[in-house]
């Protein structure tokens, strides 16, 4: 009997020891966490980068560098638009200079073939980059049309109209 008890105790100790050495099971991560939101100009730069990556068939490294370059240049373009609002000639000159900076930086990242394809299409890419201001203004306009705010309510409310007239009844003669 003592041998059976000793064997059972040894088996219990061994199983507890083995259980204690197991790694804890990982709890599944909550996949509903919010992703970091991009600024509107960063989103615009990301769209441009995605289109350029598809058109130029970039690898992962090139796409990462391209996104960094486009975000930097798009931030400069937005600053130029805000600083010189209303002076379209000055905006165009300064934005063209920023686009030339991007050309030089991309020349170091892209292969000769890719840069040649980029150079052929750069007018389209530059137009997209510089169209950020008008797209943002359009988005604000569309939002104001879809969700109008009253200019002044003066305490009035919107509701169904009251009818003051009694319903007319017909009598037979």
Domain boundaries, the chain: 40-131
16-29: burial string, b at 16+ Cβ within 10 Å, e else: eeeeeeeeeeeeee
Could you tell me which residue, 58 or 139, shows the higher pLDDT?
58
- What are the pLDDT digits (tens) for 88-137? 888 889 989 999 999 999 999 999 999 999 999 888 888 888 776 555 54
**Rounded to whole angstroms, how far apart are CA atoms 146 and 71?**
30
Structure-token match 């991007």, residue found: 102
- Average pLDDT in the 161-168 region? 60
Confidence of residue 59 (pLDDT cuts 50, 70, 90): very high
Q: Which two tokens stand for residue 151?
A: 């200019």
Residue 26 has pLDDT above 70, yes or no: no
pLDDT (0 to 100) of residue 130? 78
pLDDT (0 to 100) of residue 171? 64
- What are the pLDDT digits (tens) for 146-155? 555 555 555 5
């Amino acid at each position: 009997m003592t041998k059976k008890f000793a064997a059972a105790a040894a088996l219990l100790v061994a199983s507890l020891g083995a259980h204690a050495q197991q790694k804890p099971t990982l709890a599944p991560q909550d996949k509903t966490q919010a992703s970091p939101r991009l600024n509107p100009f960063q989103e615009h730069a990301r769209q441009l980068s995605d289109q350029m990556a598809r058109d130029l068939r970039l690898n992962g490294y090139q796409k990462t560098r391209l996104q960094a370059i486009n975000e930097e240049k798009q931030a400069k373009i937005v600053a130029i638009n805000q600083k010189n609002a209303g002076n379209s000639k000055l905006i165009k000159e300064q934005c063209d200079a920023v686009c030339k900076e991007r050309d030089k930086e991309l020349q170091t990242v892209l292969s000769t073939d890719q840069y040649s394809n980029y150079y052929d299409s750069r007018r389209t890419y530059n137009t997209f980059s510089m169209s950020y201001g008008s797209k943002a203004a359009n988005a604000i306009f569309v939002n104001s049309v879809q969700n109008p705010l009253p200019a002044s309510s003066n305490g009035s409310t919107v509701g169904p109209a009251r009818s003051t007239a009694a319903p007319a009844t017909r009598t037979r003669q």
